[in-house]
Amino acid sequence: MGAFHSVPDDHQYRILSEKTGFSLEQTEILHNRFKQLSHNSDVLRRDDLNTIPDLACNPIRSQIVEAFFDRRNFQKDGNGPVQEIGFEEFLIVMSYFRPPSVHMTEEQREELRRAKLRFLFNMHDTDNDGTITLEEYRHVVEELLSRSGSLGKETAKGIADAAMLEVASMSMGRMGPDEFYAGITFEHFLKILKGIEIETRMHIRFLNMDTTLLCK
C-alpha cells in the first residue's frame, strides 16, 4: 500500500500532488476526507465505503467500491483485488474523476482521456480477462434498468443483450446469428467512445465532495 501514514508533511503532499494533478490544498482536503472515512486509520477498507449513505441506492455501488481496491487502478504493475488501501491509492483513484485543467495541452488531455477510459473499462471488466463480456455488460445494464421499477428482469436482460450486440457490430462488423461474441477489448472500447466527451462527466458526489470542483 501507499507509503504515506498518519499526517503527510508538505513534501509528501507535494509528491502526491505532482502524481495525481491535485493541488496541495485539494490533496489536504482529500486526506481529511480519507481520515473521516477510515475512522482516523491509515488504511481504508471496503466496509468504510459500503456504509456511505449516498452509495446505498447506487445501482453500480459494488463496481464503484471495487474500483478503489483494484490494483489495475493504482498506476503500478500488478492486478487483482486488495483488502485495504492507503491514502496514496485512494488519491490516485480519486484522480480519475478529476476534470481536465484548462492549462492542459492537447497531448495531456488525450492522455487523461485514455486513463479515464481505462478506469471505466476496468470497472466493467470484473473478471480481469481484458474484455468486457456480455455477462459483465448485462449485469450493469440490468441493475440500472430493473432498479427503476418500470421494467421487469427479462425485459432489462433483453435490452442489455441488444445493446451489447450493437456494440459488437460496431467493433467486429456484422455477425451471423450463430456467431459467438467474446466481448470487447480496450482498443475496441476506445473506438466505440471516440468523439464522446467524458472528461468532464466523470465525477462523484458519494464522498460528500463534488470532484467537478477539484480542478486547477
**pLDDT attached to residue 212:** 43
pLDDT along the chain (216 residues), means of 10: 62 90 90 93 94 76 90 89 96 89 86 89 87 72 59 70 66 53 78 71 55 42
Q: What backbone torsions phi and psi does residue 117 show, to the nearest 5 degrees?
A: -70, -35
Domain membership of residue 167 as a residue range: 133-183
Position 164 in a domain:
yes
Residue 152 is assigned to a structural domain of this protein:
yes
Cell of 2: 501507499
Which pLDDT value is given to residue 102?
81
The cell numbers describing 29, all together, are 482536503
Q: Which of 199, 81, 58, 66 is nearest to 124 (CA)?
A: 66
Q: Give every CB contact of residue 154 below 8 A, 6+ residues apart in sequence.
A: none
Residues 206 and 168 reside in one and the same domain = no
pLDDT at 162: 73
Question: Which pLDDT value is given to residue 38?
Answer: 94
pLDDT at residue 140, rounded to an integer: 63
The Cα–Cα gap between 180 and 131 comes to: 14
pTM over 0.85? The answer is: no
Does residue 108 lie in a domain region? no
- Do 149 and 92 lie in one domain? The reply is no
Q: Look at the chain and report how many structural domains it folds into.
A: 2
Which CATH number covers residue 53? Answer: 1.10.238.10
